[in-house]
Structure 1
Amino acid sequence: MYRYDTYDQTLVEERVAQFRDQMNRHLAGKLGEEEFRPLRLQNGLYVQRHAPMLRIAIPYGMLSSTQIKTISDITRRYDRAYGHLSTRQNMQLNWPKLEDVPDILGELAKVQMHAIQTSGNCVRNTTTDQFAGIAQDEIEDPRPWCELIRQWSTLHPEFAYLPRKFKIAVTGATSDRAAVQVHDIGINLWHTDDGDVRARVLVGGGLGRTPMIGSVIREDLPWQHMLTYIEAIVRVYNQFGRRDNKFKARIKILVKALGIEEFRRRVDEEWAHLENGSQTITQDAIDHARSFFPEPERRVVEQSGIDAFEQARQNNKAFSRFVTNNVMGHKVNGYCAVTLSLKHHTHAPGDITADQMDLAAQLADEYSFGELRVTHEQNLVLSDVPVDQLEALWEVLDANNMASPTVGTLTDIICCPGGDFCSLANAKSIPIAQAIQQKFEDLDFVYDLGPLDLNISGCMNACGHHHVGNIGILGVDKKGEEYYQISLGGSSLDDASLGKILGPSFYREDVPSVIEKVLQVYVRERDTEERFVDTYRRLGIKPFKDHVYA
C-alpha cells in the first residue's frame, strides 16, 4: 500500500500544527464559530447531536495493521473504545472531546493518516473496489490511479470551497463494486486491444435529496489525460454550480440543468487550456504510483492444502456457509479475500470495537501481509489469505462475532448512524437495522433469498445509500414523530438504478413486518435463480404495494 514520502509527511504534520493553532484560538474565543466551521470541516471535524465527530481518511479503503492498531489506541484514550466505518471507506469517531482533536490528528500523522478533506465543500476521499489488485475480474488495478487523484486533490487551492462536497470513485474490474454511476465523477478503467489504459468517465451521479444516475461524458479518455480532464470538470462545476441554494448545489443539478451535451461542450472548452499541460500524467508518474502497490511475496499453496480446504467445506456446514458468503476468489490460485463481518445485531452496523480492531490487526499480520480493506458495505477485508489457513482464521473470527456468514445478504445491512448521533437525521437508523436482523435470524431463509441489499438512511442526505438498496429505508419526520419510507428496486452495481417509493411511510415497530411482506411477494413470484431486483423489475411495484397495504 502507498507509503508517505517526505512531502506527504511534512504536509500532514504542518496541517496538524496549523489546526492546533486554529483550535486554540477558537477555544480562547478569538475565532468565532462561523470562522472556525470551515476550518474544522476541512479537518474532518463535525459537531453532532451529542458530541463532536471526527472522520478519519482511509484513502481508497486501505489500512495497515499498524494504522488500525493506532486507531484502536486512540479510541481507548480519546473516545469510547470503538469506531464506525462509513460507506466512503473512512472511519468515524463519535465521542472525541473538541480540545483533544489536535492530539488525535497528531497521533494519526505518526502512522501516515489524517482527516484532511473528509468533510467540507471540497474533493472528498476517492473510493474504489475493496478487492482492487486481487479480484479475478480486474482489468486494471485502480489503486495507483486513485493515489494520483488523491495527490492532485489534496489541498488543491482552486477547489477548497466548491459549491458543495465532491466525490470521485474509480473501478478497474468488469463488475462495478465501487458504485461509479452514483458519484459526482465515476471512472471505469478499461484496456484497448493493444493493452493501453482508457477511462470511461461519468459525471453527475449522486444520491441525497435529488438522486441521479451519472451520464457518460467520455467513453475513451487516454490515461495520460485523466487528471487534466477531471480538473476541467471540477472547474466547470466550480464556475457554474449554484451557490445560492445548498440543496441545488451539487454537480448533478448543473449537469441536469445544462444537459450532458452542453456540459460536455463546456468541459471540452475548459480542457483545451489544460490538455497536455503540467498535470498530464507521464509514464514515469504512473510507474512510480504503481511501485507503491507491489505484489506481496506469496508462498505457493500446495494442491494438498487446497484439497484439505475443500474437504473442510464438505465436513463443516458452518464453515461452508462462511466460505460461500464471506470469501471471494483471488487472482492467485490458492488464495482468497475474506470479509470480516461487522453486522452482529448486538451493535450498530459498521461499528468496530477497539478489541476487534486489535484482533483485525493481529489477523492481518498473521494471514494477510499486514493489510486490511474497508468496504462500502461497512465491513473489513483481509485481501490475501491462503486457503489452507482459512479454517483456522474462521475459527478465530467466529469466536469474536466477526464471522457472521451473511455478507451480501438481507442482514448485511448498510446503515448510517442516524438520529442516535447525527444532528441532521430525521429518525434513528440503528434500531431499525437491529430489529430487521433479529426478525430474520433464520440463515436458511436468508440464504434462500439470495443476494439482497437492504440500506437504511436517517435522512435525505442518504449516507446509508437507501436510494440504491434493493430495499431502501428512509427515516422521515412527521410532525415530530419518526416514520420510515420504503423504496424498492435500487441497485449500485453495473445495472445501477434508483429505488421507487412503495407508498405511505410506516411506524418504526411496523418496519420489520413490512419487509417480511415485501419478501413474501418475492418468494412467491420469483423465477428460478432470479434476484430480488430482477423480480421487482419484471413485475413492477404494484404486487408489492398491493400485498403490503392490503
Structure 2
Amino acid sequence: MYKYDEVDHRLVRERVEQFRDQTRRYLAGELSEDEFRPLRLMNGLYVQRHAPMLRVAIPYGHLSSTQLRKLSHIARTYDRGYGHFTTRQNIQFNWPALERVPDILAELAEVEMHAIQTSGNCVRNTTTDAFAGVAADEYLDGRAYCEIIRQWSTLHPEFAYLPRKFKIAVSGSADDRAATQVHDIGLHVVKNDAGEVGFKVIVGGGLGRTPLVGKTIREFLPTRHLLTYLDAVLRVYNRFGRRDNKYKARIKILVQAMTPEAFAAKVEDEWAHLKDGPATLRDEDVAHYASFFTDPAYEQLAANPEAFTVPLVSDAAFAKWVARNTRSHKQTGYRSVVLSLKKTGVPPGDITAEQMDAAADWADRFGFGELRVAHEQNLILPDVKESDLYEVWQLARQHGFATPNVGLLTDIICCPGGDFCSLANARSIPVAEAIQQKFDNLDYLFDLGDIDCNFSGCMNACGHHHIGNIGILGVDKNGEEWYQITLGGSQGNHTAIGKVIGPSFAQADVPLAFEKIMNLYVEQRLAGERFIETVRRIGLEPFKERVYAKSH
C-alpha cells in the first residue's frame, strides 16, 4: 500500500479545512456559483441530477481493510448506505449533503484518503492492472511507478490547469489489463532486445465524442526517465492543446491534428532540456517506493490442497465460481478472488455498506488486509489460500458477491446513467438489468464464453462502450431514450473501437437485439472461437441483417 508521510498528512488536512471554509462561504452567499464551481471540482464534488456527487480517489485501485470500513461508515452516515465503483478504480457517493462534504473529507483524511484531483482539468487518478503484484505474467510490478506518478502529479503547479482532464494508465504485464491504449498516456512495460525493462509510451488514446486508439510515440523508455518524459509530454500538451473548445481540448485531438510523428518530435525536443535532469529517477528513489509494495508473508503451500480439490469435484456451483471468479497467483497455493458486483437486479458497480464491511473482514481473515478495485467495477481479494476458497465462496454467496459471471455477458461495465448523471441522455441501469435478466442462465452464459459488454448513458463514454465487444450508448431522440449498439470493440493488446450496427433501439427492444446477436454467434462460431473472434471473422453485416430482420 501507498504510505503517507507527515507532508502528505498536513497537505490533506489543510486542503480539508480550506474547503470547509469555502463551502461555508458559498452557503452563506459570499461566493457565487461560478466562484464555487472550480473550488468544489478541485475536491471531487460534482452537481448531479438529484444531489451532489463526491468522487473519492482510490490510488491505482488499492484499498486497505481499514479504508474500506471507513468508506462503509461514510456510506451509512452521510449517504444512502452504498457507493459506486468506477472504471477509474475510484468510488462515488451519490447522495451527500453539500454542507457535510467537508466532514466526509475530514474522515477520509483519517485513513489516508482524499478526493483531490478526481475532477478538473488536471492529472486524474492513475490506474493499473488490478492484479499488479500478484499476476504470474508480470514483467514489472508497476505499482511503485504508479505511486511515483501520483506524487509527481498531485497538485503539480505546472499541470493544475491543463486544457482538459488527463488520464494515465500503467500495465506491467505481457497482457494489457489496464486499457493503456485508450488513455491520454498509456505506459506498457516491455523488454528490449537486451532484456532490460522499460516503458512503451502510448499517447493520444481516449473515448468520448471522438474515440481514438493511442499511438506509440516511444517504443522503449528506460524507467529512470519516466518523470522527465512525462513532463515533456504534458508540457507539449499544455502549450499546444486547444482551450477554445472543450470538445477539441483533449490530447488525442492534438496528436491527431499534429500527426503522431510530429507530436513525438515536439516531445523529444522538449525532453532534450529535461533528460537526465533533477527529476531523473535514481535506483534508491525507485527502491523507496517499491518498499511500499513488498510481498506479504506468504506461506509455502502445496498446490491444489485437498480442502480445495474435494469441493471442486463434488460441488458444480463452486467449480463454476472458481473457473470464473478466481485467478491464478504468482505464489503457489494462492489465488486472487473477484467479488462480483454484477448480480442481476443490482446496479453494476454498486456496493452496500454491509458488503464493504464483509469484504474488509474477509481481507483481514483470508488475506493480508488489502483489496483491489478493478477497472471492470468489481472488488478483488488479491491473496487467498486455495484451501480457504470454499469458505470464501460460501460467505460471498451470503452477501451477494458470488455471481460466477466475471468476463461473461452479464458482467456489464456500466455508468450510473440518467438515474443520477445530469449529462446522461438515457438511463443505463434498468437496461443493464433487463439484459442480465434475459441471460440469467449460467449454463448458457458459460457456453457463450468471454464477452465484454460496456454501457454508457451518453457520449462522454464513462462506461467505455466503444471498447466493449458489445457496446451500448444511450442517445436522445426527440426527448426520448434510445440505445445504439456497437460490435467489434475490444481492449487489451489489440484494442479496437466498435462500430455501430444500425439505427438505435427503444429501451424495451434492447434485450431482444442482444438475443438475436447471441443466436447468430452460436450458429456461426467455430470450435473454441470467442465472440469477438467470430465478429471479426464474419464481419458486422450478418449481425446487422439478423438484428433488423422482422422475421427473426
Residue 346 of structure 1 deviates from its aligned partner by 2.2
Summarize deviations over 1:215-274 as a string: whole Å, max 9, x none. Answer: 000011111111110111111111111111111110000000000111011111111121
Residue 370 of structure 1 deviates from its aligned partner by 0.5
What letter is aligned with 1:74?
I
Conserved? CA contact 1:301–1:388, under 8 Å: no
Q: Pairwise mapping of residues 315-326 of structure 1 onto structure 2 (< 5 A)? A: 315-326=314-325
What letter is aligned with 2:71?
I
Distance in 2 of aligned mates of 1:155 and 1:518: 47
Equivalent in the alignment of 2:478: 479
1:418 is aligned to 2:420: no
Equivalent in the alignment of 1:327: 326
Conserved? CA contact 2:334–2:383, under 8 Å: yes
Equivalent in the alignment of 1:498: 497
Equivalent in the alignment of 2:179: 179
What letter is aligned with 2:297?
E
Distance in 1 of aligned mates of 2:395 and 2:300: 23
Instruction: Describe the SS at the equivalent of 1:291.
Output: helix
Conserved? CA contact 2:139–2:197, under 8 Å: no
Distance in 2 of aligned mates of 1:169 and 1:436: 30
Distance in 1 of aligned mates of 2:333 and 2:25: 56
Distance in 2 of aligned mates of 1:235 and 1:33: 31
Conserved? CA contact 2:185–2:205, under 8 Å: yes
What letter is aligned with 2:67?
Q
Residue 10 of structure 1 deviates from its aligned partner by 1.1
Instruction: Describe the SS at the equivalent of 1:292.
Output: helix
Summarize deviations over 1:131-169 as a string: whole Å, max 9, x none. Answer: 000001111001000000000000000111111100000
What letter is aligned with 2:170?
V
Residue 193 of structure 1 deviates from its aligned partner by 5.6
Instruction: Describe the SS at the equivalent of 1:60.
Output: helix
Conserved? CA contact 1:202–1:216, under 8 Å: yes
What letter is aligned with 2:91?
M
Residue 395 of structure 1 deviates from its aligned partner by 0.4
Equivalent in the alignment of 1:407: 406
Conserved? CA contact 2:192–2:220, under 8 Å: no
Instruction: Describe the SS at the equivalent of 2:131.
Output: coil
Conserved? CA contact 1:187–1:200, under 8 Å: yes
Conserved? CA contact 1:503–1:545, under 8 Å: yes
Distance in 1 of aligned mates of 2:49 and 2:366: 39
Equivalent in the alignment of 1:444: 443
Distance in 1 of aligned mates of 2:225 and 2:17: 35
What letter is aligned with 1:404?
T
Equivalent in the alignment of 1:11: 11
Equivalent in the alignment of 1:261: 261
Instruction: Describe the SS at the equivalent of 2:132.
Output: coil
Residue 195 of structure 1 deviates from its aligned partner by 4.9
Q: Pairwise mapping of residues 45-60 of structure 1 onto structure 2 (< 5 A)? A: 45-60=45-60
**Structure 1 length normalisation: TM-score?**
0.99
Equivalent in the alignment of 1:466: 465
Equivalent in the alignment of 1:126: 126
Q: Pairwise mapping of residues 518-537 of structure 1 onto structure 2 (< 5 A)? A: 518-537=517-536
Equivalent in the alignment of 1:197: 197
Equivalent in the alignment of 1:539: 538
Residue 93 of structure 1 deviates from its aligned partner by 0.1
Conserved? CA contact 1:309–1:387, under 8 Å: yes
Residue 113 of structure 1 deviates from its aligned partner by 0.2
Residue 191 of structure 1 deviates from its aligned partner by 3.2
Residue 529 of structure 1 deviates from its aligned partner by 1.0
**Structure 2 length normalisation: TM-score?**
0.98
Distance in 2 of aligned mates of 1:442 and 1:75: 32
Equivalent in the alignment of 1:245: 245
Summarize deviations over 1:38-79 as a string: whole Å, max 9, x none. Answer: 111111000000000000000000000000100100111100
What letter is aligned with 2:337?
V
Aligned residues: 549
Q: Pairwise mapping of residues 226-305 of structure 1 onto structure 2 (< 5 A)? A: 226-302=226-302
What letter is aligned with 1:211?
P
What letter is aligned with 1:354?
A
Summarize deviations over 1:276-330 as a string: whole Å, max 9, x none. Answer: 1121111111000000001100122245x62431222111000000000000000
Equivalent in the alignment of 1:167: 167
Summarize deviations over 1:416-443 as a string: whole Å, max 9, x none. Answer: 0000000000000000110000010111
Equivalent in the alignment of 1:311: 310
Distance in 1 of aligned mates of 2:464 and 2:511: 19
Residue 194 of structure 1 deviates from its aligned partner by 5.4
1:70 is aligned to 2:76: no
Conserved? CA contact 1:184–1:204, under 8 Å: yes
Distance in 2 of aligned mates of 1:247 and 1:319: 48
Distance in 2 of aligned mates of 1:344 and 1:530: 26
> 5+ residue gaps in structure 2?
none
Conserved? CA contact 2:302–2:332, under 8 Å: no
Conserved? CA contact 2:136–2:328, under 8 Å: yes
Conserved? CA contact 2:487–2:500, under 8 Å: yes
Equivalent in the alignment of 1:217: 217
